[in-house]
Structure 1
Amino acid sequence: MERRPSAPRENKMGVQPVGKLLAGMAIPMMISMLVQAFYNIVDSIFVAQLSEDALNAVSLAFPLQNLMIAFGAGTAVGINALLSRSLGEKNQAMADRAANTGIFLSLCSFVVFALIGIFLSRPFFEVQAAGEPVIVEYGTQYATICLGLSIGIFSQFCFERLLQSTGRTTLAMVTQLTGAIINIIMDPILIFGLLGAPRMEVAGAAAATVMGQIIAAALAVFMNFRFNPDVNIRLREIRWNGKVAGEIYRVGLPSIVMQSIGSVMVFGMNKILFGFTKTATAVFGAYFKLQSFVFMPVFGLNNGMVPIVAYNFGAARMDRVKRTVKLAVCAAICIMAFGLAVFQLFPETLLGFFDASEEMLRIGSVALRIISISFLLAGFCIIAGSVCQAIGNPFYSLIVAVARQLVVLLPVAWLLSQTGQLELVWVAFPVAELMSLTLSAVFLRRTIRSAEARVGAVQAEQLPPQEA
């Protein structure tokens, strides 16, 4: 299974007008991310119809799932940045090595998380929900299936990013939509035992999820071999390459750590909230599902922006880099402003999707209004962090993530919980985001200046002596 090398040609990321290019690459990803958000929330909507304990189990599984996603997405970010930059530099050999080594790394990640899911799911839930045997049992079933059969999600991340890295975001959208639609269709069938299927309850939600992921991954593999001539995938080259792996994780590791920190934050918040009432943890889980409708389109915008920035930085076109960043920041802020308005005006309606009890509505309405204040600030921070990663300063993003979630958010939430007032705990989110905004602005400015200096130095070296 091998593709014939094609003749090099100019990639659209270096020649198409920036506004049209960003829209063309980002909009398909934003649509697919919205569908991803929809199918993520469908799990919880159907599971909530079983019981609040079932909803809690799926919510408490988030740290494990997020850790898995962190490794898959973080590795894909590294592949994306290295591959796009190599194409911008006209270095086809490195682009191919990035793709083939990235596939190998993704498969290794699957093996690790399959073992975690099989052997550590139950102890994980027993630590979080001691004394709640129903939650522990539901959660163990859900996590064991999602992690044990995670080859779909790791392969999907990898092969979809190969499409995105070369500008084929519409094809990546098709694979994501396919997986999402399969999940949405199979959720009620497997959860409630419809159409002759066995009633699997929470395990059915997990089974529907992995089924969609595996089919989407298979389609993404086909798309790359059939429609992506910019990358040459060869079975004999899908192996360990220390130099390439080091470069992938130089960019990807901070992203992995950043998202993994999210797992630590959610685990810590769940422990704090469980001290008030288990309904508070259900609210927090519902919030995370709901906020994905706001954040996922921004992540889609992000995914469309990163290869453009990386490619044009590799091609020494800083004018296009800065134009792309400005447009992406403006679009992200607009999306977040819309999300803020919805959360402020309709919190009860949003929580109603989860069959919320009166107590859940009372706690959740306050929570959604307070936390959503941070949305406007978060849009800029997401874009700024990805620009730093794409240009080659990933540790700036890591510093921001650690400071936001571990240095500020969790300690502030714990301190406010000591007042005995649950409402104050939610204030930790806008406080943390304000700090994140300050650091992100400083680091983005430094990154752009550093990139301009590096491009200027390269251009000076390439000039004839009399012109330099």
Structure 2
Amino acid sequence: MKKNIDMLHGPVLPALTKLALPIMATSLIQMAYNLTDMIWIGRLGSNAVAAVGAAGMYMWLSNGLASLSKMGGQVNTGYSLGSGSRKEAAGYIANTLRFAAISGIIFGIVCMLSATPLIGFFNLNSPQVIADAKIYLQITCGLVVFSFMNQSFTGIFTALGNSKAAFLATTSGLIVNIILDPVLIFGLGPFPAMRIMGAAVATVIAQAIVTLTFLIFTRKDTLIFPEVHFFGKPNMHYLTSIIKIGLPTSIQSMLFTGISMIIARLVAGYGDAAVAVQKVGSQIESISWMTADGFAAAVNSFIAQNHGAGNRDRIRKGYSHAMGIVLVWGIFCTLLLILCPEPIFRIFITEPDVIPMGVDYLMILGVSQLFMSVEITTAGAFSGYGRTVPPSVISIIFTSARIPLAMLLITTSLALNGIWWSITISSIFKGILLLTWFLFFLRKEMKKS
């Protein structure tokens, strides 16, 4: 299939770049998708942002669970294709999609039935913020199955070397979201003003459109999907391998979110405005980590296929090229957040008493953007080898350290800024240590040849 990139032969940099650019563009589209929501919600005030920020933590948690099927499916599919076994690759794809659908439905039911205690965890102050948070949670997480499916489809198409499919599917969702957000939030024409509920409905419809677009691409694919049978009994051979590869990454991601929720509870002690600052700041910060995550997905698939084919030298060259590009991007993001925090933050929230808090957040987190980009890309390289434990170990240890470090720093003159510094310091350590670990690992792999 001409749309699929050959990652096993020819020059390394062009192949990796052709695969990575649509993925990075997809990440930027996803970032724009989130920022569009935040821009319109920000027009409702910081209380609305705080409500979405609290409920959005559970969407973030769902991403961790969804990464189990995504990572396990992507790595196993890529390895099978590299080994020349299309039948096995089709089996992994079918079981990945089944697992994603079932886990998404279960997560959605739990969130719909448990909205009150889930939002109550954050100890929010305003009754209106609490009510809005519950509504947003029940709609977006209740129908989160579309998000689960989209993540798995993205991983599968990336493993096939067709990263353009994810880009086009995500772009279709962005266009729908851009149109629906102002219409449903503020009410235009025959549509009533639904405020927070409107933002949630727009998000779910956009995600459903993305899923539909992916299904259209599966119908057009001639490489592997004709052999994929979605409806059928789960195969324990495939599921065991999917879970083995994806579980460490999933646990890491969910623990990361759980720790972030505890951090958010500490932030809530400084008022609902501080929660809004964290929500907006993290969305702005996603310009670096979502792009790095997209490039990590390309590195993952490139290494998985070449590992399956035994092309060790291509793996070394691929990682070197990827890291060079990510270093440049990380430096750019660091400078952007440190030098231009106020005009960037004003795009989302214009309340004078909130802006200084947002400026502090962006400047402090800006220090760690380079290291965070290195960590994410290196984790993708490890995962391409099927070694998801090393990045999980590093992430769990140093992300967990944020809680005691934050509790210590808020007792100093840093106050709220101490929480932001705990995040930055841990990110710096994670980037340095994971890079060092991978370089030693790669050296051992190269000696095997």
Q: TM-score normalised to the size of structure 1? A: 0.91
Q: 1:105 to 1:451 in 2, by over 3 A?
A: farther
User: Which residue of 2 is the match for residue 166 of structure 1?
Assistant: 160
> How many Å separate the matches in 2 of 1:217 and 1:446?
40
- Report the 3-state secondary structure (helix = DSSP H, G, I; strand = E; otherwise coil) of the residue aligned with 1:181: helix
Of 45, 49, 71 in structure 2, the residue corresponding to residue 51 of structure 1 is 45
User: Which residue of 2 is the match for residue 343 of structure 1?
Assistant: 337
Q: Identify unmatched segments of 5+ residues in structure 1.
A: 1-5, 457-468
> How many Å separate the matches in 2 of 1:182 and 1:398?
35
Q: Where does structure 1 differ by over 4 angstroms across 4 or more consecutive aligned residues?
A: none
> How many Å separate the matches in 1 of 2:121 and 2:300?
38
CA contact (8 A) 1:98 1:244 kept: yes
1:363 and 2:352 aligned:
no
CA deviations on 1:122-175 (whole Å, 9 max, x unpaired) are 211122134421111111111111111122112212223222111011122111
Q: 1:327 to 1:261 in 2, by over 3 A?
A: same
Q: Which has the larger radius of gyration?
A: 1
How much has 1:66 moved relative to structure 2? 0.7
CA contact (8 A) 1:391 1:451 kept: no
User: Which residue of 2 is the match for residue 3 of structure 1?
Assistant: none
State, as a whole percentage, how many aligned pairs show the same letter: 22
Q: 1:100 to 1:242 in 2, by over 3 A?
A: same
User: Which residue of 2 is the match for residue 460 of structure 1?
Assistant: none
Q: 1:210 to 1:125 in 2, by over 3 A?
A: same
Q: Which amino acid aligns with 2:341?
A: P
> How many Å separate the matches in 1 of 2:156 and 2:16?
17
Q: 1:158 to 1:238 in 2, by over 3 A?
A: farther
User: Which residue of 2 is the match for residue 93 of structure 1?
Assistant: 87
User: Which residue of 2 is the match for residue 385 of structure 1?
Assistant: 379
1:289 and 2:283 aligned:
yes
1:257 and 2:251 aligned:
yes
CA contact (8 A) 1:332 1:379 kept: yes
> How many Å separate the matches in 2 of 1:199 and 1:236?
39
- Report the 3-state secondary structure (helix = DSSP H, G, I; strand = E; otherwise coil) of the residue aligned with 1:16: coil
User: Which residue of 2 is the match for residue 266 of structure 1?
Assistant: 260
- Report the 3-state secondary structure (helix = DSSP H, G, I; strand = E; otherwise coil) of the residue aligned with 2:353: helix
- Report the 3-state secondary structure (helix = DSSP H, G, I; strand = E; otherwise coil) of the residue aligned with 2:233: coil
CA contact (8 A) 1:370 1:427 kept: yes
> How many Å separate the matches in 2 of 1:307 and 1:79?
11
CA deviations on 1:191-229 (whole Å, 9 max, x unpaired) are 111122121111111111111111111110120221241
CA contact (8 A) 2:173 2:209 kept: yes
User: Which residue of 2 is the match for residue 225 of structure 1?
Assistant: 219
User: Which residue of 1 is the match for residue 127 of structure 2?
Assistant: 133
- Report the 3-state secondary structure (helix = DSSP H, G, I; strand = E; otherwise coil) of the residue aligned with 1:154: helix
User: Which residue of 1 is the match for residue 445 of structure 2?
Assistant: 451
User: Which residue of 2 is the match for residue 415 of structure 1?
Assistant: 408
Q: Which structure 2 residues correspond to residues 52-131 of structure 1 after superposition, within 5 A?
A: 52-131=46-125
Q: Which amino acid aligns with 1:417?
A: I
> How many Å separate the matches in 1 of 2:224 and 2:37?
37
> How many Å separate the matches in 2 of 1:61 and 1:236?
32
CA contact (8 A) 1:261 1:401 kept: no
Q: Identify unmatched segments of 5+ residues in structure 2.
A: none
Q: 1:236 to 1:227 in 2, by over 3 A?
A: closer
CA contact (8 A) 1:306 1:390 kept: yes
Of 13, 36, 61 in structure 1, the residue corresponding to residue 7 of structure 2 is 13
CA contact (8 A) 2:169 2:211 kept: yes
> How many Å separate the matches in 2 of 1:427 and 1:167?
39
> How many Å separate the matches in 1 of 2:395 and 2:21?
26
> How many Å separate the matches in 2 of 1:402 and 1:352?
33
Of 31, 35, 38 in structure 2, the residue corresponding to residue 37 of structure 1 is 31
- Alignment RMSD: 1.8
1:435 and 2:429 aligned:
yes
User: Which residue of 2 is the match for residue 195 of structure 1?
Assistant: 189
Of 387, 390, 393 in structure 2, the residue corresponding to residue 399 of structure 1 is 393
> How many Å separate the matches in 1 of 2:171 and 2:143?
20
> How many Å separate the matches in 2 of 1:450 and 1:71?
32
User: Which residue of 2 is the match for residue 462 of structure 1?
Assistant: none
CA contact (8 A) 2:74 2:156 kept: yes
CA deviations on 1:218-256 (whole Å, 9 max, x unpaired) are 110120221241344443664312221111122211121
Q: 1:236 to 1:343 in 2, by over 3 A?
A: closer
CA contact (8 A) 2:372 2:427 kept: yes
> How many Å separate the matches in 1 of 2:213 and 2:233?
22
> How many Å separate the matches in 1 of 2:92 and 2:142?
26
How much has 1:278 moved relative to structure 2? 2.3
User: Which residue of 2 is the match for residue 324 of structure 1?
Assistant: 318
Q: Which amino acid aligns with 2:50?
A: N
Q: Which amino acid aligns with 1:334?
A: V
CA contact (8 A) 2:49 2:276 kept: yes
Q: 1:233 to 1:239 in 2, by over 3 A?
A: farther
